[in-house]
Amino acid sequence: MSYRDVFGEILADHHESPRNYGEIQGAITEEGYNPLCGDKVKMFLKLSENAEHTVEACKFEGEGCSICMASASILTERIQGQPAAKVNELIEAFREKMQGKEDVAGLPADDADDDLVALYGIKRFPVRIKCVLLAWTTLKKAINKVPESAGETA
């Protein structure tokens, strides 16, 4: 049984051809590490200087399992152009969904975003949830490095 059979085409595609992989000079950075499996991710975040601190660019570098790398790729695509507060809401909602909560506000409907739905499927493998969440929690730490008003939600 192949990776594609278990985790699907979307995650395989993001793993094989990650979006937004690389460094951003002068960006806010944060590193995440899962010592249990060895996954490492470094998030690069560039925010606008407007009041909303809109995501101008987000990239990642890392090494680890295909789920971790695919999740980082999906995350970086999903947040481009979003205000920091909305990104924080998305991260929190996604974490809740991955930890088993069914009706989570702030997420697209299960049929509205195929990439996120593909990640939701990892819930079938509880030991892999940390792999999915590593980039998300690392990005949250990066956002929390900006001025107080950027990461707050109303």
* Reported pTM: 0.88
* CA 82 remoteness from chain centre: 13
SS3 content of the chain, % helix, strand, coil (to 5): 50, 20, 30
How far is residue 124's CA from residue 81's CA, in Å, rounded to a whole number? Answer: 31
Surface-to-core class of residue 39, CB atoms within 10 Å of its CB (0-12 exposed, 13-18 middle, 19+ buried): buried
Q: Say what the pLDDT of residue 3 is.
A: 43
DSSP 64: S
Domains of the chain with CATH codes: 3-148 (3.90.1010.10)
Whose structure tokens read 């995650």? 11
**Which letter, b or e, does each residue of 47-85 get, where b requires 16 or more Cβ atoms within 10 Å of its Cβ?**
beeeeebbbebbbbbbebbebbbbbbbbbbebbeebbbb
Q: Say what the pLDDT of residue 20 is.
A: 97
Cα distances (Å, whole numbers) of residue 31 to 6, 26, 112, 118: 28, 15, 30, 24
Q: Say what the pLDDT of residue 136 is.
A: 97
Residue 106 φ then ψ, to 5° = 95, 0
Q: Say what the pLDDT of residue 143 is.
A: 95
Q: Say what the pLDDT of residue 117 is.
A: 83
Q: Say what the pLDDT of residue 27 is.
A: 95
Residue 123 tokens read as 């819930």
Local confidence pLDDT in tens for the 154 residues of the chain: 444 454 578 888 898 999 999 999 999 999 999 998 899 999 999 999 988 999 999 999 999 999 999 999 999 999 999 999 999 999 999 999 999 888 888 776 665 668 888 898 888 889 999 999 999 999 999 999 886 545 554 4
Q: Say what the pLDDT of residue 141 is.
A: 96
